Amino acid sequence: MNTTVSAQLGLRLVVPDRTTVPLLAGLEYAADDPYAIRMAFYVGDDEPVEWIFARELLTVGIVRKVGDGDVEVWPGSDDGTLNIALSSPFGDALFEVPLSPLADFLHRTYQTVPAGEETEFIDIDAELENLLWPS
């Protein structure tokens, strides 16, 4: 069984004057970290900026506004996009993500690790060892 799922998405950064800048983002999901989705934003030739999202946050955000603080997700006004707002000490960003490829990616993550079965994919002993023995 494949334990990772990845995809690349073309998305748009919405800048203050409401114009958009096209970007590429890489999505990565691994069964051994079953609650998280890593999204790497590629901006020019710089190293990608990576954010980690709760898989459930992106899933729920398809149907209603969800999130608090650093990450908020909500359906786009045209039903073909998902809005993701990120906030950090370095600034805020709003992204428009095409819904169809994101939904396909999420579907594949749930085929890899079904909802409600995430704990079966976590190595509790390894997690405890990481917590108890500082590197």
Q: Which CATH class is domain 4-132?
A: mainly beta
Least-confidence region, from 31-35, 64-68, 130-134: 130-134
Closest CA to 77 of 135, 14, 133, 34: 14
**Cα separation values, 111 from 4, 29, 33, 98, Å:** 11, 12, 15, 21
Closest CA to 11 of 40, 46, 53: 40
Give the chain's mean pLDDT.
86
Given this model, what pLDDT does residue 126 score? 66
123 versus 60: the higher-pLDDT residue is 60
The model's pTM is: 0.82
In this prediction, residue 134 has a pLDDT band, given cuts at 50, 70 and 90, of: low
Average pLDDT over residues 83-88: 92
The ranges assigned to domains in the chain are 4-132
Given this model, what pLDDT does residue 1 score? 53
